[in-house]
């Protein structure tokens, strides 16, 4: 399953791109993108459907986060690929409790390098995601469960401060 996640993220990016350019529905956009290998793997499909659904359900909220951190950039001026990479990574950070935020950010950067719309896309994606992650973390809006998902340095600091 883990080997499919990058491939699934890339398929989601392609679907989001298609939806934005052709103003079509998700089913039409993804129908030709998913390989038999992904379609036959229940875990891969579960990840695909969960991530795609969260992007769709929370796009307004995610776009507001992006807009707040792109300052002088109107959402329409952000390259479609970059915008959709940001949407996907933020959906993972906010709604996929089993994926560490750093994994979501790193995956977004790598995908931005592969599907680059400009030479600076990966740096742009990294900067925006890092700023949003720091804000969400400070506001306590990042909820992750499981081993490797919790920032133990923060937990230790809070525990030490509570013991004083």
Condensed to tens digits (0 to 9), the pLDDT of residues 100-141 reads 999 999 999 999 999 976 778 999 999 999 999 999 999 988
CATH 3.40.50.2300 assigned to domain 2-163? The reply is no
Condensed to tens digits (0 to 9), the pLDDT of residues 64-103 reads 999 999 877 778 888 899 999 999 999 999 999 889 999 9
State the pTM of this model.
Answer: 0.84
d(CA 64, CA 161): 34
CA–CA distance from 148 to each of 67, 102, 113, 117, 153 (Å)?
30, 10, 26, 32, 12
Query: Taking each helix axis from N to C terminus, what angle separates 121-138 and 59-69, rounded to the nearest 10 degrees?
Result: 110
Q: Where are the domains of the chain?
A: 2-163
């Amino acid at each position: 399953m883990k080997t499919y996640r990058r491939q699934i993220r890339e398929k989601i990016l392609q679907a989001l791109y298609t939806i934005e350019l052709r103003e079509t529905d998700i089913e039409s956009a993804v129908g030709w993108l998913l390989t038999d290998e992904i379609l036959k793997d229940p875990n891969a499909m579960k990840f695909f459907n969960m991530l795609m659904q969260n992007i769709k359900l929370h796009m307004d909220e995610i776009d507001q986060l992006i807009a707040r951190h792109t300052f002088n950039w109107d959402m329409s001026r952000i390259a479609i690929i970059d915008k959709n990479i940001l949407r996907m990574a933020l959906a993972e950070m906010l709604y996929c409790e089993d994926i560490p935020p750093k994994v979501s950010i790193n995956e977004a950067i790598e995908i931005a390098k592969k599907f680059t719309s400009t030479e600076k896309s990966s740096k742009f994606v990294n900067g925006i995601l890092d700023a949003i992650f720091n804000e969400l973390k400070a506001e306590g809006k990042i909820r992750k469960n499981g081993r490797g998902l919790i920032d133990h340095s923060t937990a230790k600091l809070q525990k030490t401060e509570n013991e004083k």
